[in-house]
Amino acid sequence: MNWTVVWLPKAENRLAELGTNATDRNAVRDAADRIDQLLQHDPVNQGESRGGRLRILFERPLAAYFTVDHHSRVVSVTRVWRFS
């Protein structure tokens, strides 16, 4: 069963900014798509724990913090940034 992935407004706005300013827009878009796919299918086994429900996932060239709500089966992407 799939999970619902929600990008919080701050993360969504930052992703749009990263995509707009990137010289490699396809790489940013593809990484965001991979993040969505991974989190939709198996969020509890993605990335690394950062304590409590907070986790971090690296999908080059992006990294994202996300939380997992087991009860509602909702994954919230709370922050995204570019890393090298």
pTM for the full model? 0.95
Tell the CATH superfamily of the 4-82 domain: RelE-like (3.30.2310.20)
In this predicted structure, the answer to whether residue 84 has a pLDDT above a threshold of 80 is no
Q: What is the pLDDT of residues 1-15, one digit of tens each?
A: 799 999 999 999 999
**Residues with Cβ < 8 Å from 67, sequence gap 6 or more?**
52, 53, 54, 55, 75, 76, 78
- Tally Cβ neighbours within 10 Å of residue 4: 12
Domain ranges of the chain: 4-82
Looking at residue 52, its pLDDT comes to 87
SS3 sequence, 15-45?
Answer: HHHHHHHCCCHHHHHHHHHHHHHHHHHCHHH
- Average pLDDT over the chain, rounded to whole? 96
